[in-house]
């Protein structure tokens, strides 16, 4: 049997699409969610029914340091051994430079950078040799972000983490990679006004948002290709900043 894949923020959006793609390929899953338990249970049931794989869902908020221990204790208790970890959950803060507070700045840093690092430190012993870690970065960690300074800076840090953690993980024989998505048609993007969505589409060579399912296949490739290490794969449909 394949080892489990842990996906943070795995019950909706990109994380759910990755879970679905991996579930279809027979991987058992452990998916975290922040607060929407009803949706998490629906996702668990849907994936287990469709693909016949074991699916666990557990509550873990990346802004809450206690969630690191909670995830570890849950995996330990359930005797879950991991083949891959997808560090996907991320948050943003759209306050302007003038209005942003240190508290919110720290919260975005904690969730997007500190949390995944210290979660990995806690659970690395549960990841088998030959396993891998995949981070969700962002195109906004490469292009300057007009709306959220903390988001752009933390996603740049995530890309840097991929390359630096790769070194730390050599003794464990665990690979570390990342995906930098452009604009993916999840609720996050769907809730934007139509005019803003059109402006975005006009900047993408393919003229459309990325479907979560086509992005998910890149995560699967990173998990399964045993020679990919320290890469951040940009999946942006050919975006140019105008």
Ligand X SMILES: NC(=O)c1ccc[n+]([C@@H]2O[C@H](COP(=O)([O-])OP(=O)(O)OC[C@H]3O[C@@H](n4cnc5c(N)ncnc54)[C@H](OP(=O)(O)O)[C@@H]3O)[C@@H](O)[C@H]2O)c1
Nearer to ligand X, 13 or 28 (CB): 13
Task: Give the nearest distance from C-beta 1 to ligand X in angstroms.
Answer: 25
Which listed residue (4, 5, 6, 9) binds ligand X by CB under 6 A? 9
Taking CB under 6 A as the rule, does residue 88 contact ligand X? yes
For the residues of the chain, what is the DSSP string, one character each? -PPEEEETT-SSHHHHHHHHHHHHTT--EEEEESS-HHHHHHHHHHHHHHH---EEEEE--TT-THHHHHHHHHHHHTTPPEEEEEE---------TTT--HHHHHHHHIIIIIHHHHHHHHHGGGEEEEEEEEEE--GGGTSPPSS-HHHHHHHHHHHHHHHHHHHHTGGGT-EEEEEEE--B-SHHHHTS-HHHHHHHHHHBTTSSPBPHHHHHHHHHHHHH-TT--S-EEEE-SSB---
Among the listed ranges 57-65, 116-124, 126-134, 194-202, the one in contact with ligand X (CB under 6 A) is 57-65
Taking CB under 6 A as the rule, does residue 45 contact ligand X? no
Locus of tokens 């899953």: 29
Taking CB under 6 A as the rule, does residue 219 contact ligand X? no
Residues 77 and 88: their CA atoms lie apart, in Å, by 23
Nearer to ligand X, 174 or 215 (CB): 215
Handedness of CA 83, 33, 116, 67 (dihedral sign): negative
Taking CB under 6 A as the rule, does residue 234 contact ligand X? no
Taking CB under 6 A as the rule, does residue 202 contact ligand X? no
Contact characters 126-165, ligand X, x per CB under 6 A: ----------x-x---------------------------
Among the listed ranges 35-43, 46-54, 123-131, 219-227, the one in contact with ligand X (CB under 6 A) is 35-43
| Phi, psi for 161 (deg, rounded to 5) | -60, -40
Task: Give the nearest distance from C-beta 180 to ligand X in angstroms.
Answer: 7
Taking CB under 6 A as the rule, does residue 44 contact ligand X? no
Nearer to ligand X, 13 or 83 (CB): 13
Taking CB under 6 A as the rule, does residue 13 contact ligand X? yes
Taking CB under 6 A as the rule, does residue 85 contact ligand X? no
Task: Give the nearest distance from C-beta 75 to ligand X in angstroms.
Answer: 16
Q: Site residues (CB under 6 A) for ligand X?
A: 9-15, 33-36, 39, 61-63, 88-91, 111, 136, 138, 181, 183-184, 186-189
């Amino acid at each position: 049997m394949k080892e489990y894949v842990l996906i943070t923020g795995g019950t909706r959006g990109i994380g759910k699409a990755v879970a679905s793609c991996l579930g279809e390929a027979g991987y058992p899953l452990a998916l975290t969610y922040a607060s929407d338990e009803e949706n998490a249970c629906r996702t668990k049931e849907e994936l287990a029914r469709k693909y016949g794989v074991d699916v666990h869902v557990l509550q873990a908020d990346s802004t809450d340091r206690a969630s690191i221990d909670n995830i570890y204790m849950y995996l330990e208790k359930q005797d879950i051994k991991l083949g891959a970890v997808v560090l996907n959950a991320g948050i943003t803060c759209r306050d302007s430079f003038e209005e942003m507070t240190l508290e919110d700045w720290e919260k975005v840093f904690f969730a997007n950078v500190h949390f995944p690092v210290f979660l990995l430190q806690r659970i690395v012993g549960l990841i088998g040799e030959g396993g891998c870690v995949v981070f969700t970065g962002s195109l906004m960690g490469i292009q300057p972000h007009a709306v959220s300074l903390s988001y752009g800076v933390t996603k740049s840090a995530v890309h840097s983490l991929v390359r630096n953690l790769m070194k730390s993980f050599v003794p464990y024989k665990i690979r570390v990679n990342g995906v930098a998505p452009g604009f993916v048609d999840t609720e996050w993007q769907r809730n934007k006004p139509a005019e803003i969505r059109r402006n975005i589409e006009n900047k993408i060579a393919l003229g459309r948002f990325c479907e979560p399912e086509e992005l998910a296949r890149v995560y699967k490739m990173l998990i399964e290709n045993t020679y990919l290490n320290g890469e951040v794969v940009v999946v942006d449909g050919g975006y140019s900043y105008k």
